[in-house]
Amino acid sequence: MSTTAVQAKEQPTTSLFDYLGRKAGPALGAAVSEIAKLVNEPTSIRQVHTYTYKGPIVEYRLSFLKFIFNEPILKKIIEKDTAEYNKKFNKTK
Residue 69, helix vs strand vs coil: coil
pTM: 0.69
The residue ranges of DSSP E strands in 1-93, in sequence order, are 13-15, 43-49, 54-61
What is the pLDDT, as a whole number, of residue 86? Answer: 72
Mean pLDDT of 40-48: 94
Residues near 78 by beta carbon (within 8 Å), at least 6 away in sequence: 28, 69
Phi, psi of 70 (to 5 degrees): -95, 0
Distances (CA, A) of 12 to 8, 26, 38: 8, 24, 21
What is the pLDDT, as a whole number, of residue 2? Answer: 43
Mean pLDDT of 63-86: 78
